[in-house]
Each structure stands twice: as structure tokens, then as C-alpha cells.
């Protein structure tokens, strides 16, 4: 797995993930997401456009970090899921409560709207 990390001018962290998201490759991602969430208010977009394989451990990580983001008054959005990953999210009913967007710019817009409504 390869992680491309980018920060927008308004403090949103974008992770563009590439390859297989399986238990043996997740330590680096866990650390990166936890660091971006920080003590509170972290805003993160996980772009899964280049992810072709994901296991149940990864699904568990995503659920855990999504809940953590909410508790810390932050945001964790997902975007650009490949068909196989989208199917996995659907089978696990994640598409019903995780925030999933077709395009990265849609996820960014959603976070920015949340920020504007809090001000």
C-alpha cells in the first residue's frame, strides 16, 4: 500500500491510497489517520480510487476511525471507491452510515460546508 498525503490550505488532510488495504499493510495508515485526527477537529478525506483489495480488518479500522472522528468533533469522508470496494462497503452496510462521495472535490465541499455551518 502506498499513501499519498496532502493538506489543503484550509486544513483538510487528504490521503490518496493505492494498492491493497489488508491487515499486514495497515500500521502506517493507522498512524497517519490518528495523527491527522489529533486531539480533535481533524478533517480527513480518504480517496480510495487506487485501492483494489480490502479486507475485514481494514473495514474495522475505517469504522473505528470514523467513530473517533465524530467523538473528537472531526470529519472522516471516503471517496472514489472502486466497484469491488464499493460492493464490500455495501455488503457490510457501511454505505448507509459512512460518508461516501463519488469524487474527492465533493468530499472536500461537504467538509467545508460543515465548517461553515459551525461558524
Which band of pLDDT confidence, cut at 50, 70 and 90, is reported for residue 51?
very high
Contact 43, 111 (CB under 8 A): yes
Distance CA 65, CA 76 (A): 8
Indicate the pTM of the whole model: 0.91
Place of cell 481533524: 42
Give yes or no for a contact between 13 and 47, defined as CB atoms under 8 angstroms apart.
no
- Is-contact 55 22, C-beta < 8 A? yes
Query: Left, alpha or beta for 47 (phi > 0: left; psi -120 to 50: alpha)?
Result: beta
What distance in Å separates the CA atoms of residue 46 and residue 103, rounded to the nearest whole number?
11
Q: How confident is the model over 60-108, as pLDDT tens digits? A: 999 999 999 999 999 999 999 999 999 989 998 888 889 999 999 999 9
The domain spans of the chain are 2-118
What CATH number has the domain spanning 2-118? 3.30.750.24
Residue 3 CA to residue 17 CA, distance in Å, equals 5
Radius of gyration of the chain (CA): 13
In this prediction, residue 114 has a pLDDT band, given cuts at 50, 70 and 90, of confident
Helix axes 56-71, 27-37, angle to 10 degrees: 10
Question: Phi and psi dihedrals of 77, rounded to 5?
Answer: -115, 155
117 vs 3: which has the higher pLDDT: 3
Amino acid at each position: 500500500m502506498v499513501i499519498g498525503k496532502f493538506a489543503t490550505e484550509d486544513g483538510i488532510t487528504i490521503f490518496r491510497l493505492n494498492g491493497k488495504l489488508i491487515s499486514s499493510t495497515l500500521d502506517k495508515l493507522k498512524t497517519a489517520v490518528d495523527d491527522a485526527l489529533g486531539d480533535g477537529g481533524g478533517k480527513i478525506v480518504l480517496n480510495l480510487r487506487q485501492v483494489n483489495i480490502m479486507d475485514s480488518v481494514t473495514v474495522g479500522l475505517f469504522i473505528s476511525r470514523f467513530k473517533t472522528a465524530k467523538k473528537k468533533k472531526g470529519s472522516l469522508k471516503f471517496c472514489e471507491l472502486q466497484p469491488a470496494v464499493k460492493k464490500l462497503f455495501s455488503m457490510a452496510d457501511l454505505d448507509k452510515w459512512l460518508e461516501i462521495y463519488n469524487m474527492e472535490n465533493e468530499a472536500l465541499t461537504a467538509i467545508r460546508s460543515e465548517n461553515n455551518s459551525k461558524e
